[in-house]
């Protein structure tokens, strides 16, 4: 018997084992293409966006803050969850302004899945000609240091060293700019 290894799995059972802060973890039982039953733990969360924001002199705007997952201060592209009914471009423009105080021309550069065990869809954007128009207004759990780096500092000192989140969005934006 030949088994189609790319065939869809059939979900048998699902239960939520944790749900808080806009994230859930579900225990899901599947019937695999070969008939076996296996359980997986899947992260369920809503869509989010991140934006590679550049000033007129092509400096990258980053938000640096402590992140509990890696247990360290990380550099991040501005971004966050997309509210129900909100357009992704509007969400990242809002997050850019809230987290950094900058505004610019926002355009989409791609989409990707967070990882193979998550339902999270991520939207990648590029913002150009960003200028500071106000002071940041971070949320209550955000303690952000806004930094700007040259493109070279960003590529070699942050992006390729494992010191940031949202690397897929950054690479999509750099590819769009033909800067890889």
pLDDT at 4: 65
Q: State the SS3 of the chain.
A: CCCCCCCCCEEEEEEEEEEECCEEEEEEEEECCCCCEEEEEEEEECCEEEEEEECCCCEEEEEEEEECCCCEEEEECCEEECCCCCCHHHHHHHHHHHHHCEEEEEEEEEEEECCCCECCEEEEEEEEEEEECCCCCCCCCCCCEEEEEEHHHHHHHHHHHCCECCHHHHHHHHHHCCCC
Of the candidate ranges 4-13, 103-112, 131-140, the one whose mean pLDDT is the lowest: 4-13
pTM: 0.89
Mean pLDDT throughout 134-156? 93
pLDDT score recorded for residue 21: 81
Could you tell me the end-to-end alpha-carbon distance of the chain, in angstroms, rounded to an integer?
46
pLDDT in tens, 10-56: 999 999 999 988 889 999 999 999 999 999 999 999 999 999 999 99
Average pLDDT score over residue span 95-116: 96
The confidence band for 6, taking pLDDT boundaries of 50, 70 and 90, is low
* Residue 22, pLDDT score: 81
pLDDT at 146: 98
Residue 173 banded pLDDT, cuts 50, 70, 90:
very high
The domains found in the chain, sorted by start residue, are 10-45 (no CATH), 48-176 (3.90.79.10)
């Amino acid at each position: 018997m030949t088994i189609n290894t790319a065939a869809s799995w059939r979900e048998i059972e699902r239960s939520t084992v944790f749900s808080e802060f806009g994230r859930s973890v579900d225990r899901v039982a599947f019937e695999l293409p070969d008939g076996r039953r296996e359980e997986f733990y899947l992260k369920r969360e809503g869509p989010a966006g991140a934006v590679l924001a550049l000033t007129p002199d092509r400096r990258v705007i980053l938000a640096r803050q402590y992140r509990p997952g890696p247990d360290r201060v990380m550099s991040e592209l501005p971004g966050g969850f997309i509210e129900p009914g909100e357009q992704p471009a509007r969400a990242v423009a809002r997050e850019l302004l809230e987290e950094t105080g900058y505004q610019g021309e926002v355009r989409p550069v791609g989409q990707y899945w967070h990882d193979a065990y998550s339902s999270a869809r991520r939207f990648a954007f590029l913002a150009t000609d960003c200028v500071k128009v106000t002071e940041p207004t971070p949320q209550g759990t955000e303690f952000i240091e806004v930094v700007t780096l040259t493109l070279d500092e960003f590529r070699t000192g942050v992006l390729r060293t494992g010191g940031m989140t949202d690397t897929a969005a950054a690479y999509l934006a750099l590819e769009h700019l033909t800067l890889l």
